[in-house]
Amino acid sequence: MKDENGNKISATTSQGRREYQRLYYQLHAEKAKAYQKAYNRTHKKKGAPRGVEPWRGVKKTCFNVSDLAHAPTPKFLRKVEAILSGRIGFTV
């Protein structure tokens, strides 16, 4: 291996290792980029598109005293209306 001045560099020195890594990267950069692209396609999680609400899970079918006690007033009223109309159950 030779440096920019044409002098021979030993691979055991830090300068030699640095030069080797630079040359190796230059030779293999395209292959590394292609590999990384393929890896990202198969392994990275895809985020939800903008404006789409994430799925929140199973809707609650039954409320208990704690649910009502800790709910803010507007939600409390909606929950009580749902319980009284029979759409949602209530447990003590």
Range of the domain at 17: 1-52
Query: 64 and 41, same structural domain?
Result: no
**What is the pLDDT, as a whole number, of residue 84?**
94
Task: Convert the pLDDT of each residue in 11-31 to its tens digit.
Answer: 678 888 888 888 999 999 999
pLDDT computed for residue 72 by the predictor: 94
Q: Are residues 32 and 65 in the same domain?
A: no
49-59 tens-digit pLDDT: 666 676 777 77
Is the same domain home to 38 and 63? no
Total domain count, the chain? 2
Q: Kindly report the average pLDDT of the chain as a whole number.
A: 84
Q: Which pTM was predicted?
A: 0.39
- DSSP assignment of the chain: -B-TTS-B--TTSHHHHHHHHHHHHHHHHHHHHHHHHHHHHHHSPPPPPTTPPPP--SPP-EE-HHHHHTS-HHHHHHHHHHHHHTSSEE--
Instruction: Please tell me whether residues 9 and 42 are part of one structural domain.
Output: yes
45 and 8 assigned to the same domain: yes
